[in-house]
Amino acid sequence: MSVRRLADASVQPKEFSFTPDNLAWAKKQLEKYPEGRQASAVIPLLWRAQEQHGGWVSEAAIHYVADFLGMPHIRVLEVATFYTQFQLQPVGRAAHVQVCGTTPCMLRGSEAIRKVCQERIHREPFHVSADGKFSWEEVECLGACVNAPMVLIVNDTYEDLTPETFEKVLDSFDRGVPLKPGPQIDRQFSAPVGGATTLTDPEIYATSPKGGTPLTDARAKTPGAAANVREAAVPQPPVGDATGKKQ
Ligand code: FES
């Protein structure tokens, strides 16, 4: 695990403020929380600040978010330096690669993935490549161990990697057309490699109330889609509820 410090003063911008669109969005976020609990919006606001500022959080952005939420600067600094989704120094324009190096990924080849980063991006983590497009770091478990080894790039995970397929992922970011996230082998989500090994009897699905429609990847997350988008169906009020009652 690396030491997480703010970037050198020489690269810190003097000021930060949200764009009008982001400001309107941030004000809307505050409405989600009860009066006096607006500090709960600190992570989404920091994330939006990072997106606005080329993929990293400056000291000015930390102060801005703290003032916006009425929090002491040190409290927001604690959040920004604790969570590895926040980058504290400039990152590559095309992609900042977070390579998982925890045990399951290590046992399945993360060393080779890291070597690709060292050879293709920079020998050391947290350095931007010579062309300014890429940067990388090693992080702890990102929760996709079953598809190890894997990397996280902005919002998306790329899994079941080999050095060759990882190079292709980097190529796709270089071209500006990222490959589809998820497993980079013929595996559906985190299902067994080679196909299902249980519940394979078609009879089970013949009696399904949904008619046994097979799961497909067609509705899988697309590259770049925001990670904080609600993916579950939004509950609807019951038809003819109390809000429609007649006088
Ligand atoms: S160990 Fe790599 S995702 Fe969990």
Q: Are residues 15 and 44 in the same domain?
A: yes
Cβ(105) – ligand 1 distance below 6 Å: yes
- pLDDT per position as a tens digit, 170-190: 999 999 999 999 999 988 888
Does residue 100's CB lie within 6 angstroms of at least one atom of ligand 1? Answer: yes
| Domain with 15 in it | 9-82
d(CA 1, CA 8): 20
Give residue-wise pLDDT tens across range 46-86: 999 999 999 999 999 999 999 999 999 999 999 999 999 99
> Same structural domain for residues 115 and 175?
yes
Cα–Cα distance measured from residue 23 to residue 241, given in angstroms and rounded to the nearest whole number: 36
Pairing status of strand 182-183 against strand 134-139? unpaired
* % of the chain beyond a pLDDT of 90: 72
How close is the Cα of 101 to the center of ligand 1, in Å?
Answer: 7
Domain's final residue, options 159, 183, 207: 183
What's residue 23's pLDDT? 98
Distance of alpha carbon 88 from alpha carbon 23, whole angstroms: 22
**Separation between Cα atoms, residue 80 and residue 87, nearest integer Å:** 8
The alpha carbon of 90 and the centre of ligand 1 are apart by a number of angstroms equal to 25
Q: Which burial class, exposed, middle or buried, applies to 30 when counting CB atoms under 10 A from its CB (0-12, 13-18, 19+)?
A: middle
Ligand 1 proximity of 145 Cβ (cutoff 6 Å):
yes
DSSP-assigned letter for residue 89: S
Q: Work out which ligand 1 atom sits closest to the CA atom of 144.
A: 3
pTM of the entire predicted model? 0.79
Contacts of 99 (CB under 8 A, 6+ apart): 105, 110, 113, 114, 117, 136, 137, 138, 139, 149, 151
Higher pLDDT, 197 or 42: 42
Lowest mean per-residue pLDDT among 72-81, 129-138, 159-168, 237-246: 237-246
Report CA(152)–ligand 1 centroid distance (Å).
Answer: 11
Share of the chain above pLDDT 70, in %: 82
Check pocket membership of 139 for ligand 1, CB cut-off 6 A: no
Ligand 1 atom with the shortest distance to the CA of 142: 3
| Domain CATH number, residue 163 | 3.40.30.10
Is residue 99 located within the same domain as residue 75?
no
State whether the beta carbon of 99 lies less than 6 angstroms from ligand 1.
no
CA-CA-CA-CA torsion sign (168, 116, 2, 51): negative
Residue 207 confidence (pLDDT): 54
Give distance in angstroms: CA of 170 to centre of ligand 1. Answer: 20
Using the predicted structure, report yes or no on whether residue 31 has a pLDDT greater than 70.
yes
Span 157-168, pLDDT tens digits: 999 999 999 999
Residue 222 has pLDDT above 80, yes or no: no
pLDDT of residue 210: 57
Q: Are 121 and 111 in contact (CB under 8 A)?
A: no
CATH number at residue 19: 1.10.10.1590
Nearest to 233 by CA among 219, 244, 213: 219
Whether residue 72 is found in the same domain as residue 103: no
Q: Which of 145, 152, 161 to mutate to test the pocket of ligand 1 (most atoms within 8 A of CB)?
A: 145
Q: 193-216 pLDDT, tens per residue?
A: 888 888 887 776 665 555 555 555
Does 101 map to a domain? Answer: yes
The verdict on the CB of residue 102 being under 6 Å from ligand 1 is: yes
Q: How far is the CA of 144 from the centre of ligand 1 (A)?
A: 5
Tokens for 172? 């796709």
Which long-range contacts does 71-74 make (Cβ < 8 Å, 24+ apart)?
71/39, 71/42
Per the structure, how many domains does the chain have?
Answer: 2
Query: Does residue 94 line the site of ligand 1, with CB under 6 A?
Result: no
Is 134 inside a domain boundary? yes
Across all residues in the chain, what is the average pLDDT?
A: 88
Predicted pLDDT of residue 219? 59
What pLDDT, on the 0 to 100 scale, is given for residue 16?
A: 97
Same domain, 118 and 76: no
Q: For residues 166 and 143, give the distance between their C-alpha atoms in angstroms, rounded to a whole number.
A: 18
> Is the model more confident about 230 or about 24?
24
Ligand 1 centroid–CA 227 distance in Å is 18
Peptide bond into 149 cis (omega under 30): yes
